[in-house]
Structure 1
Amino acid sequence: MNERHRAREALVQALYQWHYNPQDPRELEMEFLDAGYLEGAERAYFQHLLRKAVERHEEIDALIAPAIMPRRLSELTGVEQAILRAGVGELLEREDVPYRVVINEGVELAKSFGTDQGYRFVNAVLDRIARERRAQGDGGSAGDG
C-alpha cells in the first residue's frame, strides 16, 4: 500500500470521527499522529485534505446532496458520508489527481470500510460529481495511486 492510499484511509477514519464529534482538524491530526494511524501515510496529504474537507464541508455536502437523490445525506451511513466527503474534497482540492484515481480510491475505501455493495453507490456518486466538476480529458491521465 502506498503512502497516499494510507493517507486516504486515515482521512476517511478522521472524517468519520469528525462527523460524530466535530472538533478542530488540527486536534484530530494530533490524535491520529499520536495513535499511530498516520504510520506509513503521506502526512502532508492527509493534513491538507482533512483541513479542507472540514473547512469546506458545507460546500462538499451541497455537491453530494443532488448526486444521491432521492436519498438524503442524513440517510447515509457515517462511513459512506466520510468516504464521499473525502473523495469530493480531493476532487475539489487536488485537481492534479486524475478524477479516475479519486473514484478508484473511493471504491477501494468503500470495499474496505463500507457495506457489501456500498462501493457501487460510492462509485456512482463520485463519478457523477467528477463529471460535473472536471473536464472530460482529465480522467485519462496517469494516476498517482
Structure 2
Amino acid sequence: MPSGASSGFGSRREDRETALGVLYAAETQGRENLEVLNEQPVRPESYVYDLIEGIASKRQEIDSLIESNAEEWRLERMPVVDRAVLRVAVLELINFPETSIATIINEAVELVGEYSTENSKRFVNGLLSQIADQVRS
C-alpha cells in the first residue's frame, strides 16, 4: 500500500464503489487493476488499495469460490459489474473478518442494484451467503 494513501475521508461504501469502478475499467479496457487505480484523478483511500491489491493476490482463490458456488454460471458469463462486486465482497469475507457478513453482503447487493440488474441482486445475495458460510465458519 502506498504511503499516505489514506486521507481519512470517505466511507467504506465509497471505497467499495471506487474499487468497483477500477475493476470494471480494467476489465473492459484490458488493463491491469493497479494501473487503472494509480491513474485515478484523486488519490483513493488506503482501503481501496487494500481491496485492489488483495484481489490481485488472491484472484484464483476468489474466482474459484465464486465459480464453485455459482450453479450453472461460469465467471466469464456473468456481467462485468457483477464479477467486480463479487470479487470485492469475497475478498472482504476472506481478508477482513472485522467487517460483518451482513455488511459485506448488503453493500454488494446495493452496488449491483445500483449498477447492474434487479436479477443480479438476488443472485449476488444468494451466492455471497453460500460463500460466507464456507469462509467464515
Structure-2-length-normalised TM-score: 0.85
Task: Tell me how far apart the structure 2 counterparts of residues 82 and 127 of structure 1 sit (CA, whole Å).
Answer: 17
* Post-superposition offset of 1:24: 5.2
Q: CA RMSD in A?
A: 1.6
Equivalence for 1:133: 135
* Post-superposition offset of 1:118: 1.0
Give the 5 Å matches for 1:1-145: 3-20=11-28, 21-23=30-32, 25=34, 27-32=35-40, 34=41, 36=42, 38=44, 43-135=45-137
Gaps of at least 5 residues in structure 1 are 136-145
2:82 is paired with a residue of what secondary structure?
A: helix
- Percent of pairs identical after alignment? 30
* Post-superposition offset of 1:45: 0.8
2:39 is paired with a residue of what secondary structure?
A: helix
1:117 is paired with a residue of what secondary structure?
A: helix
* Post-superposition offset of 1:37: 8.0
Q: Per-residue displacement from partner, 1:41-78 (whole Å, max 9, x unpaired)?
A: xx011110111112211110001001111111111010
1:71 is paired with a residue of what secondary structure?
A: coil
* Post-superposition offset of 1:28: 2.2
Task: Tell me how far apart the structure 2 counterparts of residues 22 and 91 of structure 1 sit (CA, whole Å).
Answer: 26
> For the Cα contact (< 8 Å) 2:19–2:51, is it kept in 1?
yes
More contact order relative to length (CA 8 Å, sep ≥ 6): 1
When residues 122 and 24 of structure 1 are mapped into structure 2, their CA distance, relative to the original with a 3 A threshold, is: closer
Aligned length: 127
**Matching residue's letter, 1:13:** G
* Post-superposition offset of 1:134: 0.5
**Matching residue's letter, 1:22:** R
2:117 is paired with a residue of what secondary structure?
A: coil
> For the Cα contact (< 8 Å) 1:10–1:37, is it kept in 2?
no
> For the Cα contact (< 8 Å) 2:82–2:116, is it kept in 1?
yes
Task: Tell me how far apart the structure 1 counterparts of residues 51 and 91 of structure 2 sit (CA, whole Å).
Answer: 7
> For the Cα contact (< 8 Å) 1:16–1:82, is it kept in 2?
yes
